[in-house]
Amino acid sequence: MANPVGVPPGSPRRRDAQATRRRLLEAAADLFAERGYDAATVRDIADRAGANQALLFRYFGSKSGLLTEVMAHSGQEQLRTTPPEKLFETTLRGMLTHHGKEPHDRSLAVYLRSVGGADDAAETVKVLGEQYADVLATLSGAEDAALRADLAMAWLLGIGMMRVVVGREPLASAHPDEVCELVLGLLRRLLEGVPAPEGAVPPESGER
């Protein structure tokens, strides 16, 4: 078995380990999406990756550690590929489209549930949230841009919790467009920070 610890970077064994790690992540992402987090077993993931279960545990610690990395990876990908001014809307729409009702949405629910925890998943949520908030803060010219970005993140998190985890109605079944229309206009105001001169403030509706 390839052991990434103590193996010099760039060596064939290290490259093998990284390839195996990547295959495990991809297999996990696929199986979580296909079957949901609970139904995707560690054995299935290792089998699909053509890797040993022991390696899975060595690299990721546990199945939830694997989920954390899968989610962190997709979060990083979204951060990398989304223009800052579209980041909030893209993330919100992603959350709204994943109702948490279909099996493949379970991972978002598991992820949101983990926010309150004290484990690695919670730490990843925190780090990812910080990176998102840093990008959102660049959109605001206000002195308290970082605080405004935190409050925007808080809303995103709260909407995810209420919709996906708590299943609160009518929010849980509301059309994504309807939610976006209500949230995005206010969010822009929150991030803009500078109070608009009277008469120059467009109404909320019809802004999009």
Q: Which residues in this chain contact its own copies in the complex, by CB under 8 A?
A: 112-117, 122, 125-126, 129-130, 133, 144, 146-148, 150-151, 153-159, 161-163, 165-166, 168-171, 174, 178-179, 182-183, 186, 189-190, 195-199, 201-206
Spatial distance between the Cα atoms of 125 and 116, rounded to a whole number of angstroms: 10
CB of residue 189 to its own copies, shortest distance in Å: 6
Find the radius of gyration of the CA atoms of the chain: 20
CB of residue 126 to its own copies, shortest distance in Å: 6
Stated as kind and residue range, the H or E segment containing 129 is helix 120-138
CB of residue 171 to its own copies, shortest distance in Å: 4
CB of residue 51 to its own copies, shortest distance in Å: 31
> Which is nearer to its own copies, 80 or 175 (by Cβ)?
175
Spatial distance between the Cα atoms of 40 and 86, rounded to a whole number of angstroms: 32
142: number of Cβ within 10 Å: 17
Contact 88, 187 (CB under 8 A): yes
> Which is nearer to its own copies, 7 or 184 (by Cβ)?
184
